[in-house]
Amino acid sequence: MAERKAAVASRVGLHARPASIFAEAAGEIPLEVTIALEGEPAEEAMDASSILSLMSLGASHGDVVVLRAEGDGAEDALETLAKIIETDHDAE
């Protein structure tokens, strides 16, 4: 299983616009991708393509999240998703 950590760059955290952008990108990936706050058990990870899951995660600016996926292309997929989290979408 591939794993990638990323720090939330958006000033308001992973809410509203950033969560929408991330969920849409995760939904386009043909793999099951999960997300959890760093330190949380892997079995409590949530569906990364669900905007409701992302918003209930409660990730704030600077929090580190852990992305996980398994299958062909998982490393590249997680790298792409991590870049979205590490971009301040509120500054655009």
Give pLDDT < 70 ranges for the chain.
92
d(CA 18, CA 76): 20
CA torsion, ordered 2, 55, 13, 27, to nearest 10 deg:
40
The per-residue pLDDT for 39 is 96
The per-residue pLDDT for 6 is 98
**Other CB atoms within 10 Å distance of the CB of residue 31:** 16
Active-site hit among 15, 36, 69, 85: 15
61 included as an active-site residue: no
The per-residue pLDDT for 75 is 97
The per-residue pLDDT for 92 is 60
The per-residue pLDDT for 66 is 98
The per-residue pLDDT for 35 is 98
